[in-house]
Amino acid sequence: MPLDIHDIDGPLRVLAGPGTGKTHALVDLYEQAVREGVADRGQILVLTFSNGAAAEIARRIDQRLKDDYGEAWISTFHSFCSRLLREHSPDPERLLLDGFQESMVMRRVLAEMEPDVLGGLAGGTALRGVRPRPADLRRADETEPRPSLRAAAGRRSQRG
């Protein structure tokens, strides 16, 4: 039995396994809401866990509605929260960094640190994106790398 947008009062969460028609149901409801004037596109929030699912939902909705709209709220939870934090940050001095920006900041911070503070990471190993040597991965109370780390280092050195 198809869902009717008029039977829904408030937020809706769809939980189901793969291949059960979640995307189809969400697109149907979205289309009903817009076509029947229940809500405008800017008043509907669709969140999912993957970029692929968000893109597929947006593609199907665009394909059905073929309307001129500003900005739809169809994204992943992560993208939505990042957007909110960027646009409505209570502290504009704080920065939100993506993975690439974070690595650039860490490179700069590590480059400015004294080598004795970096210990085994000194010499630019971490700055080039190379994994630390097994000896650098031991806990503070260990004097030798764990056997699994020694074995991994041996295999790595034999390969290249």
pLDDT value of residue 124: 52
In whole angstroms, give the CA distance from residue 75 to residue 50.
Answer: 8
User: What residues are paired with 47 via a beta bridge?
Assistant: 75
Q: If residue 46 lies in a helix (H) or strand (E), which one and from where to where?
A: strand 45-48
In whole angstroms, give the CA distance from residue 142 to residue 135.
Answer: 10
Which of 19-33, 94-108, 126-140 is the least confident region? Answer: 126-140
In whole angstroms, give the CA distance from residue 63 to residue 41.
Answer: 14
User: What residues are paired with 75 via a beta bridge?
Assistant: 47
Model-level pTM? 0.57
